[in-house]
Amino acid sequence: MTRFLLLLAICFLPMRQSFGQRKNLPDTIPADFESGHIVVDLKVNGHVRKFILDTGAPLGFSEKLVNELGIATEGSANVSDYNNASSSLKVSEVITDLWLGNSRMDYSRALVIPLGNSPFDCLGIDGFIGGKLFKRYSLKFDKKNGYVILEHKGKVLRPENIEGTKVRINKFWKPFLRISPFEKLSENVLFDTGDPALYSPCENMLDQVLAQRDVKSQILEESEGAANYGLFGLAKSSGLHYLELGRLRIDGTEIKGYRNNTHASGHSKLGSGLLDYGTVTLDYRRKRFYFEPYDNNRELEAKNRRLGAYYNLRGDKMTVSLVWKASPIYRQGVRRGFELISFDGEDLRKMDYCQKFELIKRSRDGKAHKLVFLDLEKNRVPVSLNPDMGGVGQ
């Protein structure tokens, strides 16, 4: 999601299981990783649609898909999103015709999700597949070659001569494992392929670390604002920190100099950004996690984005929800609450949600751009971005 997570507040009722065409497994499934999410084709009741493969989410259908296919709903469920905002969502009838590649997935219900005016809607996806549906599988994620392998028995995908890391699967079928973000300190994190970052540290983790030892040298900056979107909108404004980790240790691999901001939700996440460095195999049945660097080098340098800003795209305005002091746009006078009104001469006030969303992606294309903001007094604040400055925001 940008960085997103659905947290299901109730367990779905047990469903009759259907094993379908296992003989074709392991099944290599083409996947699109370009958006930062893992987008795959899912066949629902005979109709192929784009879904995000999200290990941090349950099965979810867009309202549009439910209406288009005439899927009935039966009751509702209380759901919390990435930012711990909660609401009640409808739950579909039992779906018996659900195929990922050549695999017929277990019967299941789906949450009915409002995706209009969200980054997911702009990606053209119709839902999320994750959680309980993978309980009998191993999955191998390979961004370099553009596929996901789905395997039922878990023997073929298990890497040789690699012990892997133990995984804890919670009652909502979310996978947790231990990593080490600081020297001699470890943390239990959610492996969430719906989060496009490599590692998204939470504020609670940082508070606990600071109570044990002095890591202030790894805090580059602190600011007030909101940086993460969830299903129900932007997070509430809060104090956040920008960190540089001396080394991040994941399943026997060290990634040096990784930078990212904290977030306010309940636990840290290991996201699909890890796939920029190597393949990941997640074995739900044996509860193991394996990371294999693409070049077999277990000591890697982090691939960091430059500092930028975050935006609130709700409503008809695009306003700055957080800006870091070390970023290029802050040095040119942009502050939280300013409205972005022009991008290379294009008037944002005449654009719809997805057109504005595309501008954020364009700002990271390595080219020079001219921007105009309105400050809180409605004065114009022009900003120039050179190719070496990175993007206007995130």
Ordered by start, the domain boundaries in the chain are: 6-151, 165-301, 309-389
pLDDT higher for 277 or 16?
A: 277
Is pLDDT of 16 > 50?
A: no
Task: Please give the Cα distance from 330 to 335 (Å, whole number).
Answer: 6
> How far separated are the first and last CA of the chain, in Å rounded?
11
Question: Checking DSSP bridges between strand 339-343 and strand 369-374, what pairing results, if any?
Answer: antiparallel
Q: Categorize the per-residue pLDDT at 387 as very low, low, confident or very high, splitting at 50, 70 and 90.
A: low
Report the Cα 229 to chain-centroid distance in Å: 10
Q: What is the pLDDT of residue 237?
A: 85
Q: Is the pTM of this model over 0.85?
A: yes
Percent of the chain with pLDDT over 70: 90
Contact 189, 209 (CB under 8 A): no
Percent of the chain with pLDDT over 90: 58
Q: Which of 5-19, 147-161, 357-371 has the lowest mean pLDDT?
A: 5-19
Q: Which of 4-13, 121-130, 354-363 has the lowest mean pLDDT?
A: 4-13
Q: Which of 74-83, 160-169, 199-208 has the lowest mean pLDDT?
A: 74-83
Whose structure tokens read 């030892």? Answer: 213
Pick from 80, 148, 150, 68: which is nearest to 111 by CA? 80
Helices marked H in the chain — which ranges?
Answer: 63-69, 119-122, 203-212, 328-331, 353-362
Average pLDDT over residues 84-107: 92
* Homologous superfamily (CATH) for 309-389: PDZ domain (2.30.42.10)
Tokens of 314: 């709700």
Average pLDDT over residues 89-106: 94
Q: For all residues of the chain together, what is the average pLDDT?
A: 86
Same topology, domains 6-151 and 165-301? Answer is yes
Average pLDDT over residues 79-105: 89
Report the Cα 110 to chain-centroid distance in Å: 20
Report the Cα 29 to chain-centroid distance in Å: 20
Q: What is the pLDDT of residue 3?
A: 40
- Which residues, in sequence order, are bridge partners of residue 229? 234
Q: Which residues of 170-205 are buried (b: 16+ CB within 10 A; e: fewer)?
A: eebbbbbbbbebbeeeebebbbbbbbbbbbbbbbeb
Q: How crowded is residue 144: how many other Cβ atoms within 10 Å of its Cβ?
A: 12
What type of residue sits at position 267?
Answer: H
Q: What is the pLDDT of residue 283?
A: 94
Q: What is the pLDDT of residue 257?
A: 94
Is pLDDT of 12 > 70?
A: no
pLDDT higher for 317 or 168?
A: 168
Is pLDDT of 19 > 50?
A: no
Q: What is the pLDDT of residue 25?
A: 54
Tokens of 229: 């979107």
Is pLDDT of 130 > 70?
A: yes
Q: pLDDT of 292-325, one tens digit each?
A: 999 999 999 998 876 678 888 767 788 999 999 8
Q: Categorize the per-residue pLDDT at 157 as very low, low, confident or very high, splitting at 50, 70 and 90.
A: confident
Is pLDDT of 382 > 90?
A: yes
Average pLDDT over residues 216-239: 84
The CATH class for the domain spanning 165-301 reads: mainly beta
Q: What is the pLDDT of residue 137?
A: 92
Q: What is the CATH T-level fold of the domain 6-151, as seen in this structure? A: Cathepsin D, subunit A; domain 1 (2.40.70)
- Torsion sign across C-alpha atoms 306, 7, 91, 315: negative
Q: pLDDT of 331-378, one tens digit each?
A: 999 999 999 999 999 999 999 888 888 887 787 777 888 999 999 999
What type of residue sits at position 283?
Answer: D
| Highest-confidence segment of 87-101, 152-166, 206-220 | 87-101
